[in-house]
Amino acid sequence: LTSIRRGYTAGELRSLLEAAGIVGRVSRRPGYRLVATWRPRDPGPTAGVELP
């Protein structure tokens, strides 16, 4: 989940997600300009491992 306060349009934020290889959803929420949400595809072998 990310909230960006830079004045992007929904299409611009969606394009940024796509350029980063992220499949997500861009929506408007009360109190926020735009919110992008996505789930990681594969958390990888270090998921849940605490770093020092």
Assess if residue 43 is contained within a domain: no
Q: Is 9 exposed, middle or buried (0-12, 13-18, 19+ CB in 10 A)?
A: exposed
7 against 3, higher pLDDT: 7
pLDDT at residue number 25? 92
Assess if residue 28 is contained within a domain: yes
Assess if residue 9 is contained within a domain: yes
Q: What is the residue whose two structure tokens read 């992220």?
A: 22
* Number of compact structural domains in the chain: 1
pLDDT at residue number 19? 94
pTM exceeds 0.75 for this model: no
Assess if residue 51 is contained within a domain: no
Domain that holds residue 18: 2-37
29 against 16, higher pLDDT: 16
SS3 assignment, position 23? coil
9-38 average pLDDT score: 86
30-46 average pLDDT score: 75
